[in-house]
């Protein structure tokens, strides 16, 4: 039976890296990043609310199709919106093995430093520039980290310490809960 795995956490904490490690070990798994889907929409930068809503709807539909086809779906995404998480988990309960929601964490200061350090990675510069602008526009990193913490207060997410500089250790910690 397919599995739905949500990898939540602050920006830059290693969600996409852990998802990549998982899909490398689990062929035909879909790594479903809302930011990537949103980037496929024309004019998304000038229609933040509309493009975000549509991207979330598309992600849920894509996850459903992939799970029904019998394949795992990993959702590596900073989500401070319980409604979206609930929609994903509801879908997971309907068509997958027991879905699981993780949150990758580090203390706020280290997490913010890691987020900004991504600007030094040539592969991530454009993505990081856009992400940093969105984070700043939304109140800054500490504000977004606090939003995530509030969102997670009433959730049954499995907390995993993101090990800076050792994504394999973080990945192993995620796998230990699966």
Domain boundaries, the chain: 4-173
Which of 72, 77, 89, 75 is CA-nearest to residue 156? 89
**CB-count exposure of residue 155 (10 Å: 0-12, 13-18, 19+):** middle
Positive/negative CA dihedral, 147, 173, 161, 135: negative
67 CB contacts (<8 Å, ≥6 apart)? Answer: 2, 4, 73, 91, 92, 95, 96
Q: How many other C-beta atoms can be found within 10 angstroms of the C-beta atom of residue 56?
A: 20
- For 66-109, what is each residue's pLDDT tens digit? 999 999 999 999 999 899 999 999 999 999 888 999 999 999 98
Specify the pLDDT at position 133.
77
Specify the pLDDT at position 176.
97
Share above pLDDT 90 across residues of the chain, in percent, rounded to a whole number: 69
Residue holding tokens 């995620």? 174
State in Å, rounded, how far the first CA of the chain is from the last one.
Answer: 13
Specify the pLDDT at position 124.
64
Residues 64, 56: Cα–Cα separation, whole Å: 12
Edge-first strand listing for the sheet containing 100-105: 30-31, 73-76, 4-8, 100-105, 158-161
Protein fold of 4-173: Rossmann fold (3.40.50)
Which of 27, 2, 32, 16 is CA-nearest to residue 174? 16
Please count the CA atoms within 13 angstroms of the CA of 140 that sit on its side-chain side. 5
Share above pLDDT 70 across residues of the chain, in percent, rounded to a whole number: 96
Q: pLDDT-derived band of residue 41, with 50, 70 and 90 as boundaries?
A: very high
CA dihedral of 138, 32, 38, 42, whole degrees rounded to 10: 170
Q: Does residue 43 register a pLDDT over 90?
A: yes
Which of 2, 21, 4 is CA-nearest to residue 162? 21
Q: What is the pTM of this model?
A: 0.92
- For 127-145, what is each residue's pLDDT tens digit? 667 777 778 887 888 888 9
Specify the pLDDT at position 140.
86
Specify the pLDDT at position 63.
98
Q: Does residue 125 register a pLDDT over 70?
A: no
Q: Does residue 171 register a pLDDT over 90?
A: yes
Give the CA radius of gyration of the chain: 15
């Amino acid at each position: 039976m397919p599995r739905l795995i949500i990898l939540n956490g602050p920006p830059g904490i290693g969600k996409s890296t852990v998802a990549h490690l998982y899909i490398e070990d689990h062929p035909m798994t879909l790594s479903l990043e809302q930011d990537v889907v949103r980037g496929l929409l024309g004019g998304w930068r000038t229609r933040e609310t509309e493009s975000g809503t549509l991207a979330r709807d598309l992600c849920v539909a894509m996850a459903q199709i992939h799970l029904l086809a019998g394949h795992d779906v990993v959702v590596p995404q900073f989500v401070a919106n319980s409604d979206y998480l609930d929609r994903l988990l509801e879908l997971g309960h309907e068509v997958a093995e027991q879905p699981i929601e993780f949150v990758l964490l580090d203390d706020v200061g280290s997490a913010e430093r890691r987020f900004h350090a991504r600007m030094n990675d040539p592969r991530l510069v454009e993505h990081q520039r856009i992400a940093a602008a969105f984070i700043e526009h939304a109140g800054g990193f500490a504000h977004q980290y606090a939003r995530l913490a509030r969102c997670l207060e009433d959730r049954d997410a499995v907390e995993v310490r993101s090990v800076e500089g050792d994504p394999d250790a973080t990945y192993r910690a995620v796998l230990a809960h699966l």
